[in-house]
Chains A and B, each alone.
Chain A
Amino acid sequence: MHIEIRGEAFEPYQELQNYQQRIAEGQYGATAVFVGTMRDMNEGDDVQGMSLEHYPGMTENYLLAISRQAAQQWSLLDSLIIHRVGDLLPNDPIVLVAVWSAHRKDAFDASRYLMEELKSSAPFWKKEFLAEGSRWVEHNTPGQ
């Protein structure tokens, strides 16, 4: 189980490949992966960039708490969360959530749980930069 707040751009599929080396080969039959990427538009406006703020300490605690909760609730071999902070450009990865399990149900359900908990309660805030200035994103869209 690993969580990380990353201040620089990252390549999610490379991270996935690197992290997976620590999980015993032959044990996992299912890997569920979610990658969230910055879009170049929101609410009908072109977005040129974004700044992501977090609450150092609380954010890490929260991501660890939901990772532990997922490991209790489902049969998992491992999980990984990486989330960006700082300045982002369109097409930059924002978040990677990956879950390894023997079977797909646990992997799908746990990854969904982690993403929904992260979106609804992990203390991160997005500020968008438009041609005309900047604005805070006021809320996340419902995931289900």
Chain B
Amino acid sequence: MTLKVRFFASLRERLRLSDCSVPYEQGMTVEQVWNTVTSQTPLPGNLLCAVNMEYVSLLQSVSDGDEVAFFPPVTGG
């Protein structure tokens, strides 16, 4: 019963964390995943998040085994 959590770019460097696992709890949202992994670090205003590689909002609930990713605004092209 775990979730895989990943961080990218400036957020990965700031948190000094690339990926980790957290225990899954019934009804958990993306925001609760953030709070668990980052020990309640305040949410960056421009935070983007994805579940299983699809953009979602912080209110999205997650399922056991999901991959949850957090990252800053994208700057490709």
Determine whether A41 belongs to the interface, using a CB cutoff of 8 Å to chain B. no
**A57 and B53: CB pair below 8 A?**
yes
Interface centre among A53, A94, A119, by most chain B C-beta atoms within 10 angstroms, is: A53
Q: B8 and A136: CB pair below 8 A?
A: no
Max count, chain A CB within 10 A of own CB: residue among B46, B50, B75: B75
Count residues of chain A with CB under 8 A from any CB of chain B. Answer: 27
Q: Which residues of A contact B10 (CB under 8 A)?
A: 125, 136
Residues of B participating in the A interface, judged by any CB pair closer than 8 Å? 6, 8-10, 13, 46, 50, 53-55, 69, 71-77
Complex contact B76–A95 (CB within 8 A): yes
Main secondary structure on chain A at its contact with chain B?
Answer: mixed
Bound-state Cα–Cα, A120 to B74, Å: 7
CB <8 Å contact, B50 and A137? no
Q: Are B53 and A140 interface neighbours, CB within 8 A?
A: no
Known: A55-B71, A125-B72. A94 touches B77 (CB 8 A): yes
When A53-B8, A55-B69 are in contact, do A125 and B75 touch as well, CB less than 8 Å?
yes
User: Chain A residues with Cβ under 8 A from B72's Cβ?
Assistant: 125, 136, 138
> Which of A58, A83, A140 is within 8 Å of B75, CB to CB?
A140
B77 touches A95 (CB 8 A): yes
Chosen A-B contacts, 27 in total, with CB atoms closer than 8 Å, are A55-B69, A58-B53, A61-B53, A61-B54, A94-B77, A119-B74, A119-B76, A119-B77, A122-B74, A123-B8, A124-B74, A125-B9, A125-B10, A125-B72, A125-B74, A126-B75, A126-B76, A136-B10, A136-B13, A136-B72, A136-B75, A137-B75, A138-B75, A139-B75, A140-B74, A140-B75, A140-B76
